[in-house]
Chain A
Amino acid sequence: MGAIIYGHFTDELELLDAVKELKDKGIRIADVRTPFPVHGLDAALKFPRSHLPKVAFVAGVIGGSLGLLFQVWVFTKGWPLNIGGKPHLSLPSFVPVTFELTILFAAFAMGIAFLLRSNLGPGKIPDILDEEVTNDHFQVILTVKNNSLSEVELAEALAATGALDVKQVNEEK
């Protein structure tokens, strides 16, 4: 059980200023929701670098190695076909398939990792507080649970940054 306080801005530069102001006061921000990726917001909220590129790299290495090893196995152990007297282990001709599988694995592993990490996926029901967030509202969400301040103090701090329409809902948990 904890109250959720939220308000919105209509301009991303005001949002950035407000986020910095709240951070300076030591208030922890539960979430910021925006209609598009706001540049500088990641830094203001001090997000660490995403691990998704690493996922892509590892999956790409796995996909590429599987592709290459499988082709080598097929042509040397599985069924060594004599194709016009060419060598069984003709590595240059394995390059295209290896390359394509590297890309395929990397892309899909990263896509799936993104969905799992962000808890998104077909059929997920989001907790939307303001439908205009996907249009032109830049919303800041604070929770009492995360902060040492009371609901009223948080609401005041948020309103002081210039947030419009500061509201409060009680989370049921």
Chain B
Amino acid sequence: MHVSPVREPLINGEKSYSDITNDVMAPIKAKPGKLWFAGLTVSVIVMLIGFAMIGYTVWFGIGTWGVNRTIGWGWSITNFVWWVGIGHAGTFISAILLLFRQKWRTSINRSAEAMTIFAVMCAGIFPLIHMGRLPLGFFIFPYPNTRELWVNFNSPLLWDVFAITTYFLVSLLFWYFGLIPDLGTIRDRMKTLWKKKVYNFLSFGWKGSARHWHRHESMSLILAGLAAPLVLSVHTIVSFDFATSVIPGWHTTIFPPYFVSGAVFSGFAMVLTLMIVTRKALNLQEYITVGHVESMNKVIIATGSIVGIAYITELFMAWYSGVEYERYAFMNRALGPYAWAYWIMMTCNVISPQLLWIKKLRRNLAFTFVLSIFINIGMWFERFVIVVTSLHRDYLPSSWSMYKPTIVEVAIYMGTFGLFFTLFFIFIRVFPVIAMAEVKSVARSSARKFLGKPVKKQKTKNQ
């Protein structure tokens, strides 16, 4: 906790270093409560229903879904883009905010990055099953084969394969290497031998040596430098899936920046939804403070406003281009049969985040929680609007069609929530939700105060 007349402390309470260790480790040491078991059970059941429906789809084919020849991409691709977008907040917090030296990220980066990894796992499921023949999914990788064919490197769908795979692997590496010191901390606090051994294995034999820290810091900085352009590239490439096609409503150059800011926008909303509950459930209110929520809300205003400008620019360009197909596509979005989806999107994504200009609302947890759910819904509808309304009016009016998901598609989407929360529930019991070492490194003067020593005056500029 640094001393600054203008900024509030990063963590509340007079915490010593061992207080931080004990507070963060409390959920790992304690016996899980009834609420945790209830949550995990529900998640696992929903996940299994989802998996069963994936099996049903693979067995009977894509005909079990509501997609048809006009609307070939339905909920599945909507969900894919949505989940990938959710993941972006974690990398944004851990990499881009690290490069910008935003110290408030230390309390939330661990859980946000975990969320990234789980969200990308959920996202990856959809294109795989959408390809129809799951056992042949490995065809997407370029490997020497008897067909002597290679994959099509000109296709944005293939770029996606590389982007999502790299994103998943690098995020996992970044997250895990950040966890190593904290796993060492858990190992040394564990009483039972087998737990000690397991955590030692996971911590790679960490012992806190200054040399290791020196290399760890240098590595983390470069990894952040690599992950920052990576996270921007991922949703850019996802947007290429649409932007490089010749469908009115998809064929726009604004898509890459618009998708990236939309992704960070929805990702932060999801982090807020999870964190507001987690901080309460795990008793971490002093670490994830109202100040953190406010900082995240500021990112939401910024990215939400970019998304709003992008929507309006799209409308303007459709009119200004003078292309009748383009004009029709946007008129149809706003006034056609899917207008309800368009206006849900507009309300949730453009209007609702603007309320956060009011400081009282920005610091109000209940309001933020509700708003974050609205944004999640709005961003899901954004992808639905892009995917479905652009497709349902073909160039040939005889091909015009409507799309409605079947129960199978709904169950698979719910199943990914089951998967996400199952992993999250396990995560909060096994790994530290807050990066202990990083929080300790920003809690210096607080510790000195606790020890009854004079707080050294620090340059506020560096904080």
Q: 1/0 per position for A8-30, CB-CB distance to B under 8 A?
A: 00111100000000000000000
The answer to whether B209 and A103 touch across the interface, beta carbons within 8 angstroms, is no
Q: Does B200 contact A (CB under 8 A)?
A: yes
The answer to whether A128 and B210 touch across the interface, beta carbons within 8 angstroms, is no
Binding-face segment, B26-34, B53-61, B158-166? B158-166
Q: Does B204 contact A (CB under 8 A)?
A: yes
Q: Tell me the smallest distance from the CB of A72 to a CB of chain B, in Å.
A: 9
| Docked complex Cα distance between A142 and B422 (Å) | 47
| Docked complex Cα distance between A35 and B444 (Å) | 12
For B21, give its contact among A33, A86, A93, A135 (CB under 8 Å).
A135
| Docked complex Cα distance between A93 and B215 (Å) | 36
The answer to whether B209 and A111 touch across the interface, beta carbons within 8 angstroms, is no
Q: Tell me the smallest distance from the CB of B301 to a CB of chain A, in Å.
A: 30
| Docked complex Cα distance between A95 and B213 (Å) | 35
| Docked complex Cα distance between A31 and B211 (Å) | 8
Q: Does A1 contact B (CB under 8 A)?
A: no
Interface residues of B in 162-181 (CB under 8 A from A): 162-163, 165-166, 169-170, 173-174, 177, 180-181
The answer to whether B184 and A118 touch across the interface, beta carbons within 8 angstroms, is no
Q: Tell me the smallest distance from the CB of B206 to a CB of chain A, in Å.
A: 7
| Docked complex Cα distance between A86 and B154 (Å) | 10
Q: Does B404 contact A (CB under 8 A)?
A: no
The answer to whether B214 and A135 touch across the interface, beta carbons within 8 angstroms, is no
Q: 1/0 per position for B192-228, CB-CB distance to A under 8 A?
A: 0000000011101111111111111111001100110
| Docked complex Cα distance between A70 and B152 (Å) | 12
The answer to whether B207 and A104 touch across the interface, beta carbons within 8 angstroms, is no
Tell whether A50 pairs with B218 under 8 Å between CB atoms, given A125-B205, A133-B207.
yes
Q: Does B150 contact A (CB under 8 A)?
A: yes
Interface residues of A in 79-110 (CB under 8 A from B): 79, 81, 83, 86, 90, 93-94, 96-97, 99-101, 103-104, 106-108, 110
B212 closest partner in A (C-beta): A118
Q: Which residues of B contact A152 (CB under 8 A)?
A: none
The answer to whether B456 and A118 touch across the interface, beta carbons within 8 angstroms, is no
Interface residues of B in 208-266 (CB under 8 A from A): 208-219, 222-223, 226-227, 229-230, 233, 237, 240
| Docked complex Cα distance between A145 and B156 (Å) | 60
Q: Tell me the smallest distance from the CB of B11 to a CB of chain A, in Å.
A: 14
| Docked complex Cα distance between A171 and B355 (Å) | 65
Tell whether A118 pairs with B215 under 8 Å between CB atoms, given A35-B208, A124-B205, A128-B188.
yes
The answer to whether B437 and A37 touch across the interface, beta carbons within 8 angstroms, is yes
Q: Which residues of B contact A53 (CB under 8 A)?
A: 218, 222
Q: Does A120 contact B (CB under 8 A)?
A: yes
Q: How many residues in B have their beta carbons less than 8 Å from beta carbons of A? A: 69
| Docked complex Cα distance between A25 and B445 (Å) | 29
| Docked complex Cα distance between A68 and B103 (Å) | 38
Tell whether A96 pairs with B211 under 8 Å between CB atoms, given A90-B154, A124-B204, A136-B21.
no
B221 closest partner in A (C-beta): A53
The answer to whether A97 and B205 touch across the interface, beta carbons within 8 angstroms, is no
Q: How many residues in A have their beta carbons less than 8 Å from beta carbons of B? A: 68
Q: Tell me the smallest distance from the CB of B160 to a CB of chain A, in Å.
A: 9
The answer to whether B185 and A104 touch across the interface, beta carbons within 8 angstroms, is no
The answer to whether A37 and B150 touch across the interface, beta carbons within 8 angstroms, is no
Binding-face segment, B285-293, B362-370, B446-454? B446-454
Tell whether A41 pairs with B166 under 8 Å between CB atoms, given A35-B440, A103-B226.
no
Of A36, A75, A104, which is in contact with the most chain B CB atoms at under 10 Å from its CB? A36
Q: Does B38 contact A (CB under 8 A)?
A: no
The answer to whether B215 and A74 touch across the interface, beta carbons within 8 angstroms, is no
| Docked complex Cα distance between A134 and B436 (Å) | 10
Residues of B within 8 A of A (CB): 16-18, 21, 142, 148-150, 152-154, 156, 158-159, 162-163, 165-166, 169-170, 173-174, 177, 180-181, 184-185, 187-189, 200-202, 204-219, 222-223, 226-227, 229-230, 233, 237, 240, 436-438, 440-441, 444, 447-448, 451, 453, 456
25 contacts between A and B (CB under 8 A): A13-B448, A31-B211, A32-B209, A35-B436, A36-B438, A37-B214, A38-B210, A39-B441, A50-B218, A86-B154, A97-B159, A100-B162, A100-B230, A104-B165, A115-B204, A118-B209, A120-B206, A121-B205, A122-B204, A126-B200, A127-B207, A131-B188, A135-B17, A135-B18, A136-B18
> Can you list the 5 inter-chain pairs with the closest CB atoms, starting with the nearest?
A124-B205, A136-B17, A126-B207, A96-B159, A50-B218
Residues of A within 8 A of B (CB): 10-13, 31-39, 41-42, 45, 47, 49-50, 52-53, 56, 60, 70-71, 74-75, 78-79, 81, 83, 86, 90, 93-94, 96-97, 99-101, 103-104, 106-108, 110-111, 114-115, 117-128, 131-136, 139
